[in-house]
Structure 1
Amino acid sequence: MSKNAKQPPPGSGAISAIKFLDVYEIPFEQSFKGTWVGGLSGIDYDRQKNQYFVISDERSATSASRFYTCAIDIIDYKIDSVRFLAVATLKNARNDTFAGLKVMPEHAADPESIRFNPLRRTLVWSSEGDKALRGGRMVYQNPWIYEMDLNGYFKDSFLLPPNIQMYVGDSGARENDVLEGLSFSEGTKYLWASMEGPTYEDGPLASVSYANAPVRFIKFDNQSKKAVAQFGYLLDAVAAAPIPDSAFSVNGISENLCIGNQQFLVLERSFSTGIASCVIKIYLADFSRATDVSSYKSLYRNTAYRPAAKKLLFNFNSLNIYIDNVEGITFGPVLPNGHQSLVIIADNNFNHFEKQQVFLFEIVP
């Protein structure tokens, strides 16, 4: 048997465990072609060219909203270097650059996830939209999923269902709890988008004392760009009480990655004020028997549907190191032993006290 025969190709659904191999830190002061390399929130792999697409969530503050192409050099099961190769500006539907959040918030982007379509050689990316007080007035901006070419130019958009859009009052999507994750399935036939947290109708956010907050996964037909199904996924409780107890804390989905057979690796990210590290868990979620909840107005305490089954694969706490704001996950190259690698990236929020970490894992079939 050849080395590559040990590991089925990405999308096969064959996985029993994941094994940590290494972590690499991108310097806080890293710059590339006049841009500040920070806020890296999504990552995907071009296997043919052995390069990665990485999106920054900067909202056109120091430079226009953008994504990078980079190489991650892996030697002897370790990350030797991360080399940035190109940067491209994200464009809106008019193929203009996005305005800065502090200048024209209605026309700013909040980039979160990016995925590569190897058949069309295009990229899809998501923005969470906005629902916040900006400059003394409320701004309501719907989230979006755009398709673009490899230079950032707009090609098409997905039609988002009404229940995940922004509305006045406690209705629809919450600010900063919207489209955090994207993943293709069945090749590129479908695109799955995961919400970070529940909509208002689906109940309160996860808390230290509240587990099983329902979050929606939306399945889109990649040809028609329309939603064809929605499914529920139940979050863990917030991992630790904030300090003080009244301070901010959150648990939500920061990204998903389809591994085939309606199964996904799901990143749950818990953060509590007063505690340095985030608690990051990787779950194997199975949607094969989950109920299509497209017609369900609310999933809160609703027992009439079947959510995705979930199994914990890895808790970053087991590494006993500082873990930052992990937001991106992708398949990487096949390792020397024939096993598939995973590359996971953390967003430093452009904060000197945070770390822009790149993690390398091995998939054990």
Structure 2
Amino acid sequence: MKSSILAVFIFLITGCAVQRNTASLPHPAAPLSITQLKFLDEYELPFELQYKNTWVGGLSGIDYDRSSDQYFIISDERSATSPSRFYTARIRISGNKIDTIFFTGVQTLKMANGKTFPSLKEGAQEAADPESIRFNPRTNRLVWSSEGDRAERNGTINIKDPWVWEMDLQGQYLDSFALPPNMHVHTTENGPRVNGVFEGLGFTNDYRHLFVSVEEPLYEDGPRADVDYAGAPVRILKYDAVSHKPIAQYAYLLDAVARKPNPATAFRVNGISEIMVLDEHRLLVMERSFSMGNSYCTIKIYIADLDGATDVFGKSGLDTDKTYQPVSKKLLLNMNDLNRYIDNVEGITLGPKLANGHYSLLLIADNNFSKEEKTQVFLFEIIP
């Protein structure tokens, strides 16, 4: 592990424009075979790391552009210290180790009117809650998700829908993906739960479809996962990436919360923190469980297969409806088995090939801008 500021090279220059080969895809052209994830290295970014007058923290989504050997990393800060933003970065891998991570640019996320997002205090009705980011080399554009809001802010209940937006590489709004009727936020217990909506994004290999994962069950679909409740259904949405229209929804059943909280009534959660698409019907699904009174998270990565799963777009009450087939899932990795501290991992991306020709996989943890948490980057080898 490398945690010294001296080990982090920060280039205090604006990232240069890169000539992109749009035929070069960040995903392999053929479906990716994965039988095992082999842990290689961990790299830790310093807590108070600054880049271009921004605090580098809350890193909740990461994607790799193979043609430019560049990463896009989104921060989930709601414009508290600096406007909502994403970074570009280089991650140098040498000898199956992360040698250095340095940032090459930062871009402010823009609203449709071209303005920056305000903080919750300045304007809760317009504030963003960024979570995931993906690059489309076919269009040379980015998509990103926001969870919206459903909470008391400044004395009133703030209701804001989640979204998936398309933007250019400078953060300018370009377009939005249509929101299905059951994903609108309400003051009543209907639709999505607060802070439990659009956490994950992923394009299929041909970039014709985009999958979007919901973190926790809709109110209509039953209670949240708990220590003694496994099988809470959450939805994975499928979009036409060209028309930006939703075309299907699938039910994925969560594991139980991994550990009891302390005290027993304290906060606990398990949900989907990110997805990575392998092909038209297989996804890597990352479940993240946390309980108060425990210092670390339980991160599990599953291979989920949508083949044979029922399209539940028009269904409600998925916890009691037994007429649908959920997504199948197979455990690929439980990070507890690494026998090391694991923080709030929220980002996952396919990385460059390693010296042996195998693909790498990188995970990134969101430190929630807390001194008690860590911004970790994990490197794995994909064993086909």
TM-score interval w.r.t. the shorter chain? Answer: over 0.9
Task: Give distance in 2, aligned partners of 1:197 and 1:52.
Answer: 27
Root-mean-square deviation (CA), in Å?
1.0
Q: Which secondary structure does the structure 2 equivalent of 1:201 belong to?
A: helix
Structure 1: gaps (5+ residues): 1-7
Contact 1:43–1:113, Cα closer than 8 Å, also in 2: yes
Partner SS state of residue 318, structure 1: helix
Residues 345 and 357, structure 1, Cα contact 8 Å, conserved in 2: yes
Counterparts of 1:339 and 1:9, CA distance in 2: 11
Shift of 1:11: 5.7
Partners of 2:245 and 2:127 in 1: CA distance: 24
In structure 1, the residue matched to 2:157 is 138
Equivalent residue, structure 2, for 1:318: 337
- Counterpart check, 1:349 vs 2:364: no
The residue aligned with 1:54 is 73
Q: Give 1:298 deviation, angstroms.
A: 2.0
User: Which amino acid counterpart does residue 162 of structure 2 have in structure 1?
Assistant: P
> Is the contact made by 2:361 and 2:382 (CA closer than 8 Å) also made in structure 1?
yes
Corresponding residue to 1:152 among 154, 171, 179? 171
* Partners of 1:342 and 1:361 within 8 A in 2: yes
1:1-365 paired onto structure 2 within 5 Å: 9=28, 12-365=31-384
Deviations 1:318-347 (A, max 9, x none): 111111000000000000000010010000
Normalised TM-score (structure 2) = 0.92
Helix, strand or coil: the match of 2:135?
Answer: strand
Runs of 4+ off more than 6 Å = none
Q: CA deviation at 1:311?
A: 0.4
Q: Distance in 2 between matches of 1:32 and 1:275?
A: 31
For each residue in 1:60-82, what CA deviation from the matched residue of structure 2 results, as whole angstroms up to 9, or x when unmatched?
A: 00000000000001000000111
Q: Which amino acid aligns with 2:282?
A: Q
CA displacement at 1:9 relative to structure 2:
2.4
The equivalent of 2:10 in structure 1 is none
Contact 1:166–1:173 (CA under 8 A) maintained in structure 2: yes
Please, which moves more after superposition, 13-22 or 86-95? Answer: 13-22
Instruction: Give the distance between the partners of 1:205 and 1:240, measured in 2 at CA.
Output: 15
- Counterpart code for 1:273: M
Q: Is the 8 A contact 1:11 1:258 kept in 2?
A: no
8 Å contact from structure 1 (residues 261, 288) kept in 2? no
In structure 2, how many angstroms separate the alpha carbons of the residues matched to 1:151 and 1:49?
16
Separation in 1, partners of 2:106, 2:30 = 28
Paired position in structure 2 for 1:4: none
CA distance in 1, matches of 2:277, 2:320: 27
- Superposed CA offset, 1:140-169 (max 9, x none): 000011000000001100001010110121
**Which deviates the most, 10-19 or 251-260?**
10-19
Paired with 2:374 and 2:76, the residues of 1 have a C-alpha distance of 15
Partners of 1:326 and 1:227 lie apart in 2 by 27
Classify the secondary structure of the residue corresponding to 1:233: strand
Q: In percent, how many aligned pairs have the same letter?
A: 57
